[in-house]
Structure formats: C-alpha cells, structure tokens
Amino acid sequence: MKFRVLNEYAAMAYKEELSHIIISICSPHAKPIRLPENKNRKGYLFLNFHDLDHLPEADKICMGVGKPYQLFTDFQASLIWSFVDEHLVTPEIDMIICNCEAGISRSAGVIAGIKAGLGLDESDIFDQYLPNSLVYRKLLEARQGKMLFQVDGKNVNMNEHVPARFHKVVRVPGKLVNFVTRKRIKRNESDQSTKEVL
C-alpha cells in the first residue's frame, strides 16, 4: 500500500496509474475541489474543517460571535475509517491519497493517522510534513477505541488524570514534539527535564 499527501493544486492536476482512493479536505464553507477524471480512482471522500489542533482560548469565549472555528471531530475520524476499511477489503486498491489546501498539516495528519492505525510506520510523514495533531490523535483513538498518547515511549490513557505538561506532547519516532508550538523537545538525561528547541 502506498500513500500520497497533496496540496489542492497538485490534487486538481494529479495523474495516478495505481488504483486509489482520495480524501479531500478544505476549510468550512469552501467548495470541494474539482478532481481530474481518473479511471483508477475507486472512491472519493470530501471533508471540511479548519487547520487547528485546539480551539484558541480567546475564541472559546466568543464562539458564534467571532470566528466559528470547526475542529476535526470524532465523527469525521469514524467516516475516514469507514471509507478506508470499505475500500481495503477490495484488493485492487494500491494507494491512499489525501489532499488539503496547503498539503502540509491536515492531509499529513490523515495519512499519518491511517498509517499508524494500520500498523505501518508513519515516521516518514512526520519527517516531511507537520501533521495536524488533533487529526492524527482522533484517527488513532477512533481505530483503537480509546484515547491513547505515547509519552516517553509509554502508552498514556488520556481518560485518566495526566499532568498538563503531557497533554500536547507526543512521541514521534526519534524525537518528542510539542504540537502546540510544533517545536522539538530536547530531553536532559541528567535531570529528566525537557526544553523546547527550534
């Protein structure tokens, strides 16, 4: 199985010889992109949500008054898995493509979440892109049926009490990343402390 992350311009002009499905993402109230005709495309799923991994505190106060942000939801995660599972039972699917407007965060989060949920190594996605952590996490939760993060190589159930400093920290193969600031975290082995680095 192969995977591709595209931006919307690449998706509007893509040519793919392998049989595939495509998940297309855009911001709310935007129209779906117009995909080129492709006889190898076996399915298409359109989703819309903002490229945020949390709701900014200032906007929680004035929801419905200021900017009505739409975050990625559990329902959308389950839609993605239903769509993927439906097409994985047919052996002719060789590739999963996902596009978003920039092709950096939301689509990368979807592909990383799908790869991890299928038991595949998603480190290449984290090396090349900045996957949206909310999308990635919700896809894993939907697949596993529970809220799990990895902190320092250990599974942490987010339904239980966890210190706040771990809430946005996820173990990415080879490094820790704070997804709020999207900066790497360097661990000081001598005193077990961590600090953000560029």
Q: What is the pLDDT of residue 190?
A: 47
Please say if the pLDDT value at position 40 is more than 90. no
Residue type, 193: S
Give the pLDDT of residue 155: 54
Q: Which range among 10-19, 53-62, 170-179 has the greatest average pLDDT? A: 10-19
Which pLDDT score, from 0 to 100, does residue 171 have? 41
Q: Is the dihedral of CA 188, 191, 194, 195 positive or negative?
A: negative
Question: What pLDDT is recorded for position 151?
Answer: 54
Q: Strands 2-7 and 95-100: what pairing? A: parallel
pTM flag (> 0.75): no
User: Which pLDDT value is given to residue 183?
Assistant: 46
Q: What is the pLDDT of residue 156?
A: 53
Greater model confidence, 92 or 65:
92
- When the pLDDT of each residue in the chain is averaged and rounded to a whole number, the result is 75
Average confidence (pLDDT) over 10-34: 87
Structure confidence at residue 91 as a pLDDT band (50, 70, 90): low
Exposure letters 131-166 (e unless 16+ CB within 10 A, then b):
bbbbbbbbbbbbbeeeeebebeeeebeeeeeeeeee
Cα-based distances in Å from 125 to 33, 81, 107, 122, 136? 23, 19, 10, 6, 11
The 10s digit of each residue's pLDDT in 96-110 is: 999 999 999 999 999
Outline where 53-150 has alpha helix (H). 57-61, 74-88, 106-117, 123-128, 133-144
Query: How much of the chain exceeds pLDDT 90, in percent?
Result: 32
For the chain, the domains span: 2-144, 146-198
- Structure confidence by residue, pLDDT tens digits, 140-189: 998 887 544 555 555 555 444 334 444 444 444 444 444 444 444 454 44
- Selected from 3.30.1220.10, 3.90.190.10, 3.60.15.10, 3.40.50.720, the CATH number assigned to the domain covering 2-144 reads 3.90.190.10
pLDDT at residue 117 above 70? yes
What average pLDDT does the segment 22-33 reach? 87
pLDDT at 77 over 90: yes
Name which residue leads in pLDDT, 79 or 65: 79
At residue 154, the pLDDT reads 56
